[in-house]
Amino acid sequence: MNKAFTKEPEGDDDDDDSPGLPPLPAGTKNYVTPEGYKRLREELMTLLDVERPKVVEVVSWAAKNGDRSENGDYLYGKKRLREIDRRIRFLTKRLDIAEVADPSAHFGNDQIFFGATVTYANADGDERTITIKGIDETDNLKGEVSWISPIARALLKARVGDEVSLVTPGGLEKLEVVDVVYPKPEPKA
């Protein structure tokens, strides 16, 4: 059969979750910091205003060049367009349900809430510092963890000096909260 008459596999368009990002647990809110919300919104606007129009232009140009079955610009462009549209749907859904929580509201507090930068020590005395952020804005390489991660759930609501228990694949681990820091509130203009 000629390739021109076969349907391209469209992937799973109903699956709007971005690869690598776990879905939100049922009944929970999509907490996000103001910076995270701004970054996600900027990504959405860039996709809508810059990326998508460029790809549409390339696909349109490539479609005018004849045989689409062997036209790399057309085939790649259509695939890229589906990826962009999937990401736009994902970002739109996540931003619609996002609840912006400003961690600076807890500045000076020694109790752990969303947005806290926490230093904790394990039983060997090894210290580690993490920042608790929203599921869509974490970067493990920067020491950021999602508020629904096991370590964040173990630490939430603890105070400096408290000992918390973390269930790990290696067994129960005791952690001591050493320090809790929140960003300073922005001065009001």
Q: pLDDT tens digit string along 100-116? A: 999 998 888 899 999 99
Instruction: Tell me the CATH number for domain 28-100.
Output: 1.10.287.180
Q: At what angle do helices 52-63 and 72-96 cross, to 10 degrees?
A: 150
**pLDDT score of 4 more than 60:** no
Q: What is the pLDDT of residue 15?
A: 47
Mean pLDDT of the chain: 86
Q: Please, which pLDDT band fits residue 51 given cuts at 50, 70 and 90?
A: very high
In angstroms, the CA 30 to CA 174 distance is 29
Instruction: Tell me the CATH number for domain 103-181.
Output: 3.10.50.30
In angstroms, the CA 156 to CA 149 distance is 11
Q: What is the pLDDT of residue 189?
A: 62
Q: Check if the beta carbon of residue 133 is closer than 8 Å to that of residue 36.
A: yes
Q: What is the pLDDT of residue 67?
A: 72
Residue 73, H or E segment: helix 72-96
Q: What is the pLDDT of residue 80?
A: 94
Mean pLDDT (whole number) for 128-150: 93
Q: Please, which pLDDT band fits residue 70 given cuts at 50, 70 and 90?
A: confident
Q: Please, which pLDDT band fits residue 38 given cuts at 50, 70 and 90?
A: very high
* Tokens linked to 170: 């290696």
Q: Please, which pLDDT band fits residue 72 given cuts at 50, 70 and 90?
A: confident
The ranges assigned to domains in the chain are 28-100, 103-181
Percentage of residues of the chain with pLDDT beyond 70: 85
- pTM (whole model) above 0.85: no
Least confident range of 14-18, 19-23, 40-44, 185-189: 14-18
Residue 72, H or E segment: helix 72-96
Residues 6+ apart with CB under 8 A from 6: none
Q: What is the pLDDT of residue 16?
A: 47
In angstroms, the CA 132 to CA 148 distance is 9
Mean pLDDT (whole number) for 29-55: 94
